[in-house]
Amino acid sequence: MVAAPADATGPRVPVVRGSFVAGDVGDWRITEMRTICGDGLPRAAALTRVEAGRFAAAPETGSGWVLHGVRSNERYTECDEKARLTTLQPGLGRPNSLVAALIPIRKSDAWWVLPQDERRAIFEAQSRHIAIGSRFLPAVARRLYHSRDLGESFDFLTWFEFSEADAGVFEELVGLLRETEEWRYVAREVQISLRRTPVAG
């Protein structure tokens, strides 16, 4: 009999739930909504990102929508890549990060029927997703939320924060990714550009 890992019966790591609530008011002002492919999202004036023990509710009044996801383990990242990203990846909420973007993505059924090793090969060996992203660290901070297993309309929600001076750097990053083999499997994508007001003091 194989012994269970020492922490198998210990406390489980809490699931971090993330919600993006769009409506008439919010922490971030929406400056542009671009439908890259597939169906878009209803127009809204503002957006708030919420991380909590439970999902945030949709706005009760005014135009609005909410997207949900969970922070999870890295699905395609190998050990050395994870170590490098941990060293380079900045946290969110930097004082000069007054610009942000939310990019929800849904991949095609053709992507999901592929076995894991083939998806990994397309993701990194062919498309160099991690390598490309690493080139833009620490200028662009990123956080990924998984939504597919929740039955949401998107598979992934990627949140980016950066300074106004690095807005062009961010556009270069997403432009390079959209030219890769991996993006042939993207069936729906929306880019939501945002700006927040500096905190006084």
Integer angstrom CA distances of residue 5 from 2, 9, 73, 102, 185:
9, 8, 18, 38, 37
**Fold held by 69-195:** Alpha-Beta Plaits (3.30.70)
Place of tokens 């700006």: 195
For the chain, domain boundaries: 69-195
Rg (CA), the chain: 18
pTM of the model: 0.86
| Among 55, 53, 66, 54, CA closest to 26 | 66
For residue 98, the SS3 value is coil
138-147: pLDDT as tens digits? 999 999 999 9
Give the pLDDT of residue 15: 80
> Model confidence over 79-92: pLDDT tens digits?
675 556 566 678 89
Higher-confidence residue: 76 or 175? 175
Percent of the chain residues topping a pLDDT of 90: 65
Cβ 49 vs Cβ 18: under 8 Å: yes
